Copies of this chain bind each other. A is one copy, B any other.
């Protein structure tokens, strides 16, 4: 019998609701009256998503970031939010204050108004966030064109290293440890960059399920081949990986929760996008191009290696 991983469970739900599209985009979109409403919900569960060394304020903020990141990938401004919180009966007032602080911080940062929600008892802490915005047109995951360039909004690989440090022990030089842990507890979604440059994207997708998952999904949905000729990492990650004999490829492509995004664009937009990236302090990296065919391949010394979807699964 097939293992019940998340994609399998999602399939059961999708089949049940008779909708092919449920879950095939970063955000949900629906018409109410004269507007296209964009909505996204995300859940943070104590036992699976919150390392014990993570502050509850950071966890609360991150539960909003997870949704904001999907809005960022689509270049849509989230305006309103609803927050549902489950709390164990034994929780202290100071922990609750910490949680509120984290939500408030995120709302200020991304200019979101909380309009409601609910609080419940439960065996563990659960944050469920639902954000709303409007848009005229949605950049999809599927419209990359042959000849398009592939970009990411920042370097990858830190979250996987940072999570190991939070769960196990810190290793590596101080600056690197700090950077890696920060990538887990204070992720920065690229909202202003996404909003500003959306018009140039032929396709885009939030990368938080892992870069290999994201690239494979975009390639599959657009029925194009993606060639990656520059793996998006920086020297400090390479040094760390060499020193501790880790697998660089795995950290970069299969880490997940980076809250960066991938976009494709026509080469004619390269200059303007790069200029906008500097203005919004977003360190975008060009990592490859779109061509005809299928699958995602990493190009190295003129050899192509298939990049499998091996990103993060919730189950």
- A interface list, Cβ under 8 A from B: 1, 4, 6, 9-10, 12-13, 16-17, 19, 22-23, 27-30, 32-35, 37, 39-43, 45-49, 79-80, 82-87, 89, 91, 93, 96-97, 100-101, 103-104, 107, 113-124, 126, 128, 130, 132-134, 314-315
The answer to whether B86 and A43 touch across the interface, beta carbons within 8 angstroms, is yes
Q: Which residues from chain B contact A107 at a C-beta distance below 8 Å? A: 17
Once A16-B100, A48-B122 are accepted as A-B contacts, the answer to whether A84 and B35 lie under 8 Å apart by CB is: no
**Which residue of the partner chain, among B104, B119, B121, B122, contacts A16 with CB atoms under 8 Å?**
B104
The answer to whether B45 and A6 touch across the interface, beta carbons within 8 angstroms, is no
The answer to whether B91 and A39 touch across the interface, beta carbons within 8 angstroms, is no
Name the residue of chain B whose CB is nearest to the CB of A66: B118
Q: In the assembled complex, how far is the CB of residue A181 from the closest CB belonging to chain B, in whole angstroms?
A: 23
Query: What copy number does this chain have within its complex?
Result: 2
Q: Which residues from chain B contact A93 at a C-beta distance below 8 Å? A: 1, 4, 12
Name the residue of chain B whose CB is nearest to the CB of A22: B116
Q: How far is the CA of A29 from the CA of B82 in the complex (A)?
A: 11
Q: Which residues from chain B contact A17 at a C-beta distance below 8 Å? A: 100, 103-104, 107, 114
The answer to whether A133 and B32 touch across the interface, beta carbons within 8 angstroms, is yes
Q: Which residues from chain B contact A128 at a C-beta distance below 8 Å? A: 41, 43, 84, 128
Q: Could you pull out 23 A-B pairs where Cβ atoms are within 8 angstroms? A: A9-B87, A12-B100, A13-B85, A13-B100, A16-B100, A19-B113, A22-B115, A22-B117, A23-B116, A30-B79, A32-B79, A32-B132, A33-B33, A33-B34, A33-B35, A39-B132, A40-B116, A41-B84, A43-B128, A46-B123, A47-B123, A48-B121, A119-B315
